Amino acid sequence: MAAIAVGINLLVSQNAETFQEETQLTRAFYAAESAAGFAMNALFPPDEFPNYNTTAICPENAGSPREYEFESDGLSSCSAAVSCVTDATVDGLDYFTITSTGTCGDVTRTIRVRTSFDAD
């Protein structure tokens, strides 16, 4: 009976650790996604907020990687680093790759966004 109790305790402990790691992975993903979204807004500023353009990190990659510390619920104690490079210019159209790495605790997630914008 004691062996069964120890086995159940071990399973419950492993499940709790797995759940905590999955939660941290999800939070790190959303931190990376949020920072990539900030970079997209800076790179392609919405018409109603043209001042974003002054903080763009592409194409010169100025100030890259840009660091973000999150304080909002759900992402508190998470951070992200985002950088951007110009991959190519074809027929006057720039193609960019935004790389964003989110970190929550000891867990990191990296996403890449490849993008271009043709106003025509």
pTM: 0.76
Confidence band of 88 (pLDDT split at 50, 70, 90): confident
Q: CB-based contacts of 110: which residues, under 8 Å, 6+ apart?
A: 32, 99, 100, 101, 102
Domain that holds residue 68: 2-116
User: What domain count does the chain have?
Assistant: 1
The candidate with the shortest Cα–Cα distance to 31, out of 102, 84, 81, is 102
pLDDT tens string 48-58? 766 655 555 67
Give residue-wise pLDDT tens across range 62-80.
Answer: 666 888 999 988 899 999 9
